[in-house]
Amino acid sequence: MKKSLSLIAVICALTMTAACGHDNTSSDVKGSTSASSSTAAESSEAEKVSDTAATSTVQTPSAVTTSASVQAASLTEASAKSSEGSENDLTYLAMRYYASRSNHRPEFCEIENDDGKTVTIHLYDIIDGHTSTCDWYYIDKNTLKGSNILDDEIDLSETAAAQWLPDVPQRSELREKNSFCGIAYIGYAENTDYRDADPKINDLFMSSGAIDKFRFLAQLPENYYAQTHLGTQLYLVIPRDPEAQVVVTEYDFTSDKETGRIYSSYNGSPFLLKCNYSDISSDVRISITDNEGVHTTFSPFISMKDGTPETDCKDVVIFPLP
């Protein structure tokens, strides 16, 4: 009986040991499996990160290369266009060159001939339906140098010429009165031309008192003078804004049509204008645009009531002379 109990005890002990061993083994296996899974997951995640980094490393240079290629292509195209000298570039340079040296901006500037190396540029206005040539330029497209119709050497790459910018005390009065422009009637000037240094013009300056009131008249360049075909009345025009853009066109009031531009300026300096072949109507239109974009157009004439100068715009100041 005692042997049976002892045998039973031994068997139970062995059974418990085996059970405990099985549980430990299972736990070890589970732990090992879990650790293995975790390691695999970490390895997989690491591979993903590595792949992403590798992809990023590959994509970034590709993007930079693409961007650089596009930029290089754009620069090459721009460089080629610049070296080629497109029509717009050349006509712009020609207009700038001519306008800054003559104080007149032609209505039209066109390339008439292009043999691949040299271009012929025509600068002109249309007056009375006819072409009025300002100049012809013959320019090497690579150097931007050449000559004009008088065989004078020109270089379109040069900066714009300095403009005449006199001291004009009368502008303070224009600002006080909030007027965009002022004019003074100097007198009757038929058969005279300021550009010819006609002494009769200087005599008129003296006799009218204009030279005493407007001191800058003594230095007024000839390219700050314009006249209509049959003009007889000489006016001094003073824009208030020294940076104003001015355009003067001859005008036929019987047909209500502009017949051609006779003057333009891009620095707002005072200028002389001989216009109006009669006192009945004006034959000119003066357009002034200030640096804020405000635009006004008017015509000067002599009043048939009392012979005093007038305009068809109330915002123009009339400067009286002695």
DSSP per position, 122-182: EEEEEETTEEEEEEEEEEETTT-EEEETT--EEETTSPPPPPP----TTHHHHHHTT-SEE
- Listed in sequence order, the residues at least 6 apart from 184 whose beta carbon sits closer than 8 Å to its beta carbon are 210, 213, 214, 235, 236, 238, 309, 318, 319, 320, 321
Residue 26 has pLDDT above 60, yes or no: no
Look at the pTM and tell me if it is higher than 0.75: no
Residue type at 215? R
**In whole numbers, what is the pLDDT of the chain averaged over residues?**
78
Q: What SS3 state is found at 308?
A: coil
* Amino acid 32: pLDDT: 40
Residue 216 has pLDDT above 90, yes or no: yes
The span from the CA of 28 to the CA of 18, in Å, is 15
Residue type at 46? A
CA 316 from centroid of its chain's CA atoms: 29
* Amino acid 203: pLDDT: 93
Residue 3 has pLDDT above 90, yes or no: no
Across the range 111-124, mean pLDDT stands at: 95
Work out the pLDDT band at 15, boundaries 50, 70, 90. very low
* Amino acid 260: pLDDT: 85
* Amino acid 161: pLDDT: 86
| Contact by Cβ (8 Å): 220, 272 | yes
The span from the CA of 16 to the CA of 70, in Å, is 79
Based on the number of CB atoms within 10 Å of its own CB, is 262 exposed (0-12), middle (13-18) or buried (19 or more)?
A: buried
Task: Name the phi and psi angles at 88, rounded to 5.
Answer: -65, -40
Alpha helices in the chain (DSSP H): 2-84, 87-102, 171-176, 199-208, 210-213
Work out the pLDDT band at 87, boundaries 50, 70, 90. low
| Contact by Cβ (8 Å): 298, 313 | yes
The span from the CA of 275 to the CA of 60, in Å, is 70
Across the range 270-290, mean pLDDT stands at: 92
* Percent of residues, the chain, with pLDDT higher than 70: 73
Residue 256 has pLDDT above 90, yes or no: no
* Amino acid 54: pLDDT: 39
